[in-house]
Structure 1
Amino acid sequence: MRFLSSTLFLALLLSLTTARAQTIPSPKEHFGFNIGDNYQLATYTQTEAYFKKVAAASDRAKLVDIGMTEEGRHQYMLIVSSPENLKKLNRYQEISRKLARAENLTDQQAHALADEGKAIVWIDGGIHATETVGTHQLIETIWQLVSRKDPETMRILDKDVILLTHANPDGQELVTNWYMREATPEKRSLDNVPRLYQKYIGHDNNRDFFMLNMKETQNIARQLFVDWIPQIMYNHHQRGPAGSVLAGPPYRDPFNYVFDPMMVTGIDALGAAMINRLNSENKPGFTRLGGSVFSTWYNGGLRTTTHFHNMIGLLTEIIGGPTPEDVPLVPKRLIPNGNTPFPVTPQKWYFKQSIDYSISLNYSVLDYAARQSDQLLYNIYRMGKNSIERGSSDYWALSPKRIDAIEEAYNKDPKKVVPPSSAALAQYGMIPRGGGMPMKYYDTIMKAPVLRDPRGYIIPKNQPDFATAVKFINALVRTGIQIQEATADFTVAGKKYPAGSYVVKTDQAFRPHLLDMFEPQDHPNDFQYPGGPPVRPYDAAGWTLAYLMNVKFDRILDGFDGPFKKLPYGELQSPEGAIAGASGAGYVLSAKSNNSFIAVNDLLASGVEVYRLPNGVGEKSTAEAGAFYVPASAKAKSLLDKSAKDLGILVTGLAKRPAGSMTKVTPMRIALWDTYGGSMPSGWVRWMMEQYHFPMKVVYPNDIDAGDLKKKYDVIVFVTRAIPPVGGKEEDIFSLMGSEAKVENTPAEFRPWLGKITATKSVPQLKAFLEAGGTVVTIGSSTNLAYHLGLPVKNALTEMTANGTERPLPGEKYYIPGSVLRVNLDSTQHATWGMSNQSDVYFDASPVFKIAPDAIAKGLVKPLAWFDSSKPLRSGWAWGQSYLQGGVAAFEAPVGAGKLYAFGPEITFRAQSHGTFKLLFNQLYSTGSGNPSSVAPVAGQE
């Protein structure tokens, strides 16, 4: 009876388990259509409900809420594995982290952990919401993994833990609702979505993964770099190059020189598995290497940042969507070669085909991970261990500049022997057989003590804008970097540092990312052929974050130690602020600190008077030109106490009011240009203004064309790509600029956003606004406004042709994609208050100006920033940079009673360039004259 009871119990348990599995709804049952059906898309609301149903019904799935989005939705990650693995999920997560960080492990211990662990594989979808294959393959993949019982799926579930993550919930809701609004399926279109599919930054949500400003990127980064650290991450995108179905790994050169070579060859191995799977299933059209534009140079993308963390980061870009389309005829794509071994022929293409390809690709990755799980786990450990060893010993990294230096040393050596042939010289042992230079030229560069990679970096607490330095530290923390903090004063290399300074050592697993944030990028000179045009980098060529944020740090070349405590991984830091000194008369806030602008805006919003000190403050309380002065009052003290604590700023109390002139700060009515479809640069600035508490209003071209601008606004900000060039138009490939959407096809609520800035309608209104006393701030290509207004400035980057006409410098002579350059400034000017006399700026084929000396002498134009060096490059790639010398990067010009500010560099670039934020912020206050004898009320009064 006892045996019978046990048998009945097991049968009942089995039947209940089977019944539970049978309750998992298929996509068809939940959404009402199959994933991949023509003209059908799912909303995020529907997708979220499906994830919850699957997690509740399947013993193969666990739903994790990884955080909130910018629009307030829950962002989910569905973890899929075998029921047995899910019971031990914490252990497998622990193993993954231990191996990735490679701390205090022997090779033998690492092998044991790799044998015990499971491969952790990340698959995401939907980061770019109009790329609808990404989101929908995620849904279909989940269904396949929780419902299939074939041997391959069961092996995958047994050996892998799969993190299936939705990258952009807000975007899916917006785009699907836009597409599905048409009742007639054939009329549905993804074109002309009215706003960005991420609240602030749209497509740039895939450019935020080392800065991590947005909530969605913070949520994802926590999983990738702190909590899980998967060995493989797969990032789904669109769209494939014309004439192909998809682009995938491996990718074209150059790859970044800080990578461990095993990461690069790991991509090769996964790429082979992916293309082989498609070929075996008779699915043509996979192109790779030079068949697409995608490389592994850039840091900052969802896929690319993982490369700097020893993860095998995969990207595919596939064609397709809910509306059927055509694979176009591109004859050159039809010849098989190493880029595209199995070309696709021109044909009609359907959504379901793209979904099927994506499932095959996912399964190829998951199957590879299942078969090679122990190797993947051990390899990420080995890469981390390599980084630790390189960071704890003398190490010289190779780069194009180092190679050039070796060749230069050889070419300049007057005693060098130029052999008649390599073989002849080899017999004397001077060069290796087969060619080459004597070893001494290598040793001159690659063993020079001063050219070693640093053992670490020290970020002193006593720097002008420590609060911004802490923001930099937090960007490192969020990307899994180990940070140490000094618990007492200490000395390294003869220099004293205060307690509270941060120390970042390079003997850690994620050393590639760490170096990439502190050290300059050295992009190779990359041309289509010798003397030909340049090959454009996929995104930026240089981005050194410590430079862009103006963080003061010291590179330490030798091993060092001190009273340092290691901070827990992922623990964000908060700077300490205070009010120092007697404050009987008032308070001073430094204009060098970005967070001072937040405090000032909060004071102004509460009705507290604030002044600026054009000549600073002398005596013991030294402050720079443009510092803020707040007369003493109970309200001011209460607000500043809170600001000092929350913002980490140092507020200096003054016993007596400053001598000399001061100007009263008045809030301005700020307008920020945007366009139908959304401008990413505008969205970044909107987010920045919210963070720094500047009240503003978004305006559109029709608002500008309506006129009477001075009655509504005091300052109008035009980010790059707002103002077209004289005699032409400028297009933003990620924004429709409001010119493509037709009024009759646009819902009434969005029609006021249509239109574009024009020379005939908009520029006259802007001129009238300026003449009436308004301020216009232009950034990047929107400095075109200076030419529309006829100001005495010219393009500095031109040459005369043989026939006497002027033309822009050709790419063969001058080419600077996104890179970091250094400019000189006059920091005594109102526009540049709080800046140093030199600053690093983000430069992306940015405008540079030539100003006639008499225009400067007459006060028609005032230079604010300029290039005084023939080699201003700090990080990236600058071909022909000597052409910049003497050019003006930024200027101000009076126009009637108002002022135009023109900033050629991208001073607000992706909200990363904290070092140049003040060049915008300074222009957002009205600073009329103030009377120093009347600005200090009795202490305690408001």
Structure 2
Amino acid sequence: MQKIFLASLIYGAFVCSPVYSQSLDQEYNTKIQEFTTDKRFLPSSVLGIIKHPDIPSPLEHFGTIIGSPGEMHTTEEIYAYYQLLADKSSHLQIKQVETSEEGRAIYLVTIGGDDSMNRLDHYKAQMGKLSDPRIINENQADAVIEDSKPVYYLNGGMHSTEMGSPEMLMELAYRMITSDEKAIKDIRDNLILLINPVSEPDGRDKQVDWYYRYTKARTDWDDGFPRSTPYWGKYVFHDNNRDGLQVSQGITKGIFKIFFEWHPLVMLDLHESVPFLYISTGTGPYNEQVDPITIGEWQVMANSDIASLAAQGMPGTFTWAFYDGWWPGYGVWVANNHNSNGRFYETFGNAGANTYMRDLSDQKYAGDPATSREWYRPDPPTQKVYWSARNNINYMEAGVLASLTYAAHNGKTLLKNFYQKGVNSLEKGRNETPKAFVIPKAQKDPAMAAYLVNQLRAQKIEIHKATSGEKEGDYVILLDQPYRNLAVNLLTEQNYPKEAKFPPYDDIAWTLGYLYGVDVEKKDSVGIDSDDLKLLHEDVIYKGEISGNGTTYFLSYNAQNTVLPALYWLKKNHQNTKISTLKESFILESDTLGIGSLVFNNISKNEADHIAENYGLDLIRGSKQPESNQVQPITLPRVAIYHTWFNTQDEGWSRYTFEQRGIPYTSIDKDDLKSGNLRSKYDVILVPRARGSASDFIHGIDPKFGPMPFTKTDDFPSHGFPDFTPDMTGGPGFMGIDNLKNFAEAGGVIITLDNSTAMVAETGITRDLQSYSPSGLFHPGSVVTVKAKKGSSPILYGYPETFSIFRGNGPLYQVDLKERDMILLQYGTKPLEDEIEYTGPIMGKPDQPIMEKKIEENEKVAPYVRSGMVRNEQTIIGQGTIFNVPVGKGRVLAFTFDPLHRFMNHHDAPLVWNALINWDHLGD
């Protein structure tokens, strides 16, 4: 390692406080200086590591300091160090709070002074009182605040390639429990510090193995080599920080458990992506339901941190120009959503412990070069920087120490703000509209209504159930509650401003009623007597009902999410069952069953009861049988889900969705496509969204880096899961693409979602789809209106003519006018111009009457955007949403959006389930 400077002056200035009498760890502090590449990157606050007589430092324990070149630690090593600290010091505790999908522990570390550690339950209870102003009044709150300590939470290791925070936090913990320097004692005595050392342990271990297996030996940052392991968690990659509304993954469940147990005033998430330290405030627009107090705290804390690092001579610290502040589904937004404060850092990481020359010339934030001096970045970095892992540790730790110092000195203000935000929410609920939301009992998919209730309860939103009267069975959310703002945020439409200067950082709409296909009513008055409402204390389960008489069972189909899993369960447990779909309406006594409804023959009462109870489906018994020409037998398909090795994000969500729904599948990759013989193994191949081009799909990771095995070995035990390969490089190649085309020509169905449609359109699997790039269209993730163009298609069974879907920016395709019957669903309700019948004069037929153009009623009343924002929406209206393209004996079912997006848009998913139920008669 090149040693560029001697930092003795900075070092001496920090440690020569008259109250500082402990023995310094000269070797540790010298190594910090050695591994820091520029004196401007060495803050005085990170020096002064002491040599404790009883508690081993990271240097004593690991043999190297934190941030040493070439050194990264696994979760087992990290947790063992914290356990050692807990054994040696009464100032630190560690306990498990959650388990990851792969079985690794997620831990919480608690640090505090003697008083804090002796009275943890007391201080935890005090935060609980302040979280709900209905428990204590204003005068009581003052007394509680005086006897409370702010709780501050640090989140490490969320994104696995951002490897510095799990390292830094170990050094910080050692500093916190050993140093008697006044600044550290103030933090220890005045705060309770919570640390989640590795919030995504599965990805951490994979990435550490990846570093030692592949990237430690590399010397050039810009050599194009993949810096990341192909998988982080079992299912979720970078989107593990987009799970705060779904609460589906272990990482999120762990963060939520910690929050609701402790109610930390601040949650700081430690990320790495930009030079040198970005402190979150965002460019806006800010989420409209975040209390203005929180937004003010973002600004004050960010500028306090910047000032602290500036006082230590550190360049490249900035705020504002990255991120926006709109999407509420990030992990630590559990704080912003619940009257606390969620914020994050982005430091400059190297995806490991190598030192690289980094070029910043192409990096821009909010349109400005990363190297320009701006009001929000008063001391910018140079265009090139020689950057080490220790530099990253220094910036991260100095920022955290500054933020903890601010909280320690302003604890009473933060506590008062926390309580006041709850008061503000209550007052809004009592004085503003809406006053309540009602989820009616009558729903097209009652099981999804129950799911919505449970998702709201996971956010600690209070829900009542009407117990009598005409509203009996309805769910009621009264808005005079502490988390009123979050309820409004989740259940009303989002109105993202079209004039926003910078593009949004993520999705801009999340109205859960739309995404789940559940009717939710806004109420300006409650209209239900409080005696008729019962507060829910447990999650709800919808159990279907069975009505009527007879030996045949029917299901009125409304695209319920649980139908396909029920069919697979039934076929697995009773292979002689005959299941059919109705090809036309069928009258069964007082019920009219629509097209797509299901007929069950040869099933027992116990099996029907199981389906109703466990899948939340209402069944009808009848003695009348449809004619054979009125039904289509169901043959459930053998399904494969394809994944690339260069992008596994969305196929992970697809796998997760299938497994949560109980739909069997086989995971396949490039090697399976190259092997061929696909039709003998599978009936349907689902190709989830995979960011990249058709060329990426064909050729995959550049073979010049190969071979690159992803296999479990003694040296790399975390690799090889959830899939393995002897070589990640290369793709299926042209032979694999040809085999996929042969699969369709032999009668198989290929389902492509969003960007993966480019693969079939641009590789020749079908030549019918032509790319369409509308001028000026900007379509961030929003809920929009679509209309059935071929309503008889089985893909649209259970859906009305006009409904909503969720769509983000993605590719669009067109087909020739003569092939428009391939379009099953279109965006908006108006047809394309070339589809509007000509009504003007015709030369050669002068007597032809000239007719006025008819405007359909739904074209007048159905806006395209239901929640979110789309610019130049007129360029997408009329374009195809889903294409059903024949390829030989089979089909390509091409979606131009993702109906399996992040386990969020459950209302859209049955479009895929319909394809699986009806896979063998999509051309009827």
Match of 2:25 in 1: none
Matches within 5 A, 1:818-857: 818-825=781-788, 826-856=790-820
Tell me if 1:386 matches 2:407. Answer: no
Deviating more after overlay: 326-335 vs 80-89: 326-335
- Asked if 1:506 is matched to 2:454, the reply is no
Change (3 A) 1:55 1:617: farther
Q: Does 2:731 match 1:751?
A: no
- The answer to whether the Cα contact below 8 Å between 2:552 and 2:599 also exists between their aligned partners in 1 is no
| Aligned equivalent of 2:705 | 742
Task: State the Cα deviation string for residues 276-310 of structure 1 (Å, max 9, x = none).
Answer: 221122222112112xx212111211234432322
When residues 374 and 730 of structure 1 are mapped into structure 2, their CA distance, relative to the original with a 3 A threshold, is farther
Q: Does the alignment pair 1:178 with 2:210?
A: yes
Does the C-alpha gap of structure 1 residues 755 and 334 become closer, same or farther in structure 2, counting only changes over 3 Å? closer
- SS of structure 1 residue aligned to 2:587: coil
Contact 2:554 2:597 in 1 (8 A): no
Matched, 1:323 2:354: yes
| Residue in 2 that maps onto 1:479 | 459
Matches within 5 A, 1:275-674: 275-290=306-321, 293-321=322-350, 322-328=353-359, 330=361, 332-345=369-382, 346-394=384-432, 453-490=433-470, 497-499=471-473, 501-526=474-499, 535-562=502-529, 563-568=532-537, 571-588=538-555, 590-608=557-575, 609=577, 610-615=579-584, 617-619=586-588, 620-634=590-604, 637-659=605-627, 661-674=630-643
Contact kept in structure 1, 2:126 and 2:148, CA below 8 Å: yes
Give the distance between the partners of 1:22 and 1:737, measured in 2 at CA: 54
1:70, 1:199 within 8 Å by CA — same for their partners in 2? Answer: yes
Residue of structure 2 aligned with 1:682, choices 636, 651, 667:
651
Question: Any idea what the Cα deviations from partners look like across 1:680-717, whole Å, max 9, x if unmatched?
Answer: 11110011111122221122223223332212221111
**In structure 2, distance between residues paired with 1:879 and 1:67:** 42
Maintained 8 Å contact 2:478/2:526: no
- Residue 473 of structure 1: CA displacement? 1.9
- Alignment counterpart, residue 663 of structure 2, candidates 675, 680, 694: 694
Q: For the Cα contact (< 8 Å) 1:674–1:699, is it kept in 2?
A: yes
Asked whether the equivalents of residues 709 and 728 of structure 2 are also in contact (C-alpha less than 8 Å), the reply is no
CA positional deviation for 1:53: 2.2
What do the CA deviations read for 1:220-248 (whole angstroms, capped 9, x no partner)? 12222x322211010000111xxx31211
Note if 1:249 corresponds to 2:280. yes
CA distance in 1, matches of 2:895, 2:866: 19
Offset at 1:125? 0.4
Q: How far is 1:30 from its partner?
A: 3.1
* Residue 751 of structure 2: aligned partner: 777
Aligned to 2:31: none
Q: Is the 8 Å Cα contact of residues 612 and 663 (structure 1) preserved in structure 2?
A: yes
Query: What residue number does 2:884 align with?
Result: 892
Contact 1:61 1:80 in 2 (8 A): yes
**Number of matched pairs:** 806
1:864 offset after TM fit, Å? 3.2
Report whether the alignment pairs 1:724 with 2:693: yes
Deviations 1:345-385 (A, max 9, x none): 44322211211222222222222111111211111111121
Q: Which of 103, 109, 112 is the matching residue for 1:78?
A: 109
Q: TM-score, normalised by structure 1?
A: 0.81
State the secondary structure of the residue aligned to 1:671: strand
3-state SS of 1:250 partner: coil
The code of the aligned residue for 1:751 comes to: P
Name the residue aligned to 2:64: 33
Counterpart residue identity of residue 804, structure 2: D
- Is this contact kept in 1: 2:283–2:324, CA < 8 A? yes
After superposition, the C-alpha distances for 1:796-844 in whole angstroms (9 at most, x for unaligned) are 554xxxxxxxxxx1xxx32112211111125542112222323321211
Cα distance in 1, alignment partners of residues 289 and 727 from structure 2: 48
- TM-superposed CA distance for 1:209, in Å, is 0.6
Match of 1:406 in 2: none
Deviation of 1:462 (Å): 1.8
Structure 1 partner of 2:79: 48
How far apart are 1:740 and its partner, in Å? 6.7
Say which of 261, 278, 299 aligns to 1:227: 261
Task: Report whether the alignment pairs 1:864 with 2:829.
Answer: no
The 8 Å contact of residues 281 and 325 in structure 2, kept in 1 or not, is answered as no
Q: What amino acid is the match of 2:871?
A: W
- Find the aligned partners of 1:586 and 1:367 in 2 and give their Cα distance: 67
- TM-superposed CA distance for 1:99, in Å, is 1.6
Aligned-residue offset at 1:552: 0.9
Matches of 2:112 and 2:689 in 1, distance apart? 47
Structure 1 pair 129–475 and aligned structure 2 pair: CA distance change class (3 A): same
The corresponding residue for 1:261 is: 292
Any gaps of 5 or more consecutive residues in structure 2?
A: 1-51, 363-368, 712-723, 831-858
Once the two structures are overlaid, the 10-residue window that deviates more, 743-752 or 141-150, is 743-752
**Equivalents in 2 of 1:183, 1:525: separation in Å?**
43
Native 8 Å contact 2:464 2:476 kept in 1:
yes
Classify the secondary structure of the residue corresponding to 2:634. Answer: strand
Quote how far apart the aligned CAs of 1:737 are. 4.7
Q: Distance in 1 between matches of 2:692 and 2:634?
A: 29
Contact 1:779–1:905 (8 Å) recurs in 2: yes
Q: Distance in 1 between matches of 2:813 and 2:75?
A: 48
User: CA contact under 8 A between 1:723 and 1:783: conserved in structure 2?
Assistant: no
Query: Partners of 1:646 and 1:31 in 2: how far apart?
Result: 51
Q: Is the 8 A contact 2:429 2:480 kept in 1?
A: yes
Instruction: State whether residues 706 and 727 of structure 2, in contact with CA within 8 Å, keep that contact through their aligned partners in structure 1.
Output: no
Instruction: Say if 1:877 and 1:56 are closer, same or farther in 2 by CA, change over 3 A.
Output: same
Q: Root-mean-square deviation (CA), in Å? A: 2.7
Q: Which residue of 1 aligns with 2:895?
A: 903
Judged with a 3 Å threshold, the aligned counterparts in structure 2 of structure 1 residues 99 and 182 are, in CA distance, closer, same or farther, namely: same
What is the alpha-carbon distance in structure 1 between the residues aligned to residue 464 and residue 89 of structure 2? 43
TM-score, structure 2 as length reference: 0.82
Moved more, 586-595 or 188-197: 188-197
C-alpha separation in 1, matches of 2:156 and 2:919 = 49
Using the TM superposition, give the Cα deviation of residue 926 of structure 1 relative to its aligned residue in structure 2, in angstroms: 5.3
Partner of residue 777, structure 2: 814
For 1:215, the equivalent position in structure 2 comes to 250
CA distance in 2, matches of 1:624, 1:45: 57
Quote the Cα distance in structure 2 between the aligned partners of 1:349 and 1:33: 19
Question: What's the CA shift for 1:767?
Answer: 2.4
CA 1:247–1:764 in structure 2 vs 1: closer, same or farther (change >3 Å)? same
What does residue 933 of structure 1 align with?
Answer: none
The secondary structure found in structure 1 opposite 2:416 is helix
Measured in 1, the distance between the counterparts of 2:141 and 2:703 equals 57
> In structure 2, the residue corresponding to 1:816 is in which secondary structure?
coil
1:49 Cα deviation after fit:
1.8
Instruction: For 1:580 and 1:82, locate their aligned partners in 2 and report how far apart those are by CA, in whole Å.
Output: 64
Matched residues in 1 for 2:89 and 2:230: separation? 37
Gapped runs of 5+ residues in structure 1?
A: 1-20, 395-452, 491-496, 529-534, 799-808, 930-942
Match of 1:834, SS state, is coil
Residue of structure 2 in register with 1:443 after alignment: none
